[in-house]
Amino acid sequence: MHEKNHIFAAEILNGRSMYSLYRKEIKSYLSSLIGYIFIGVFLIIAGLFLWVFPNINNILFSNLASLQGLFNTSKFLFLFLVPAITMRTFAEERHRGTLELLLTKPLTDSHIIAAKFLSSLTLLVIALVPTLLYVISVYNLGSPPGNIDLGSTWGSYLGLIFLGATYISIGIFSSSITSNQIVAFVVAAPLCFIMYFGFEFIYGFEVLGNMGFFIKSLGIDYHYNSISRGVIDTRDLLYFASVILLFLIATRITLVSRKW
């Protein structure tokens, strides 16, 4: 009984420590320029392509009551912006020599990774919240007002959050293998690009035959487009969860390897 109480107390302590680290990471984003730069750059560029620059994603230019242009633009912006905010997660800790100090706290490697992952994901969600004004605007601009596919819109938001979470897991892994933030970015951005477009590119080779579709289904693009149609398929959710878990496990292996 005493042993069970000790384990339960340790779990509570770990949970509190993880939450404290999560809050510390969030504060570090919002007390420095990096968090505001991420949010500002994302909103400005997305807004310009959606409302100002003449292109197929411009709502006024296309005369369509659809936010698909926002989601098309966001998936490209996230390719660069997400690695930019995650490159510091572990690389900065290694560079400053504070990683070992962090590991002396009552936290497991998994708790540390989870806290950094969730804090980055929170920042991404914060950046998406102001875009809900676009939903209201398009809703009222429709003819008649309200002529917008809300199912597809909310599905696309969900897909965008999963997409961002996947990029975050890749960025955290890239940051864990180096003490240089620039190197972490240079590794993460191409990895995100390959995970999104690489399998679709391979699918284009017809010589693959029946294997082509299987390879296509390994890429993010296939599952992101599926969710964006407003159809929430458990296979798509399982895919994103699996990729995220894969890179977070790879991050943990990298951290554990420091003890070898």
CA–CA dist 139, 16 (Å, integer): 42
Q: Say if pTM beats, i.e. exceeds, 0.85.
A: yes
- Specify the pLDDT at position 214: 76
pLDDT reading at 19 higher than 60 = yes
User: For residue range 91-115, what is the model confidence (pLDDT) as tens digits?
Assistant: 888 877 777 666 666 678 888 899 9
Please tell me the number of Cα atoms within 13 Å of 175 on its side-chain side.
27
- Residue 86 sits in which domain range? 2-259
Flag the least confident range among 27-36, 62-71, 87-96. 62-71
Which amino acid, 258? R
Is 89 in contact with 174 (CB distance < 8 Å)? no
Please count the structural domains in the chain: 1
User: For residue range 110-129, what is the model confidence (pLDDT) as tens digits?
Assistant: 888 999 999 999 999 999 99
- Specify the pLDDT at position 189: 94
pLDDT reading at 27 higher than 70 = yes
Percent of the chain with pLDDT over 90: 38
- Specify the pLDDT at position 135: 87
Q: In which band, very low, low, confident or very high, does the pLDDT at 190 lie, cut at 50, 70 and 90?
A: very high
- Specify the pLDDT at position 92: 85
The torsion defined by the Cα of 114, 120, 123 and 125, in degrees rounded to 10, comes to -70
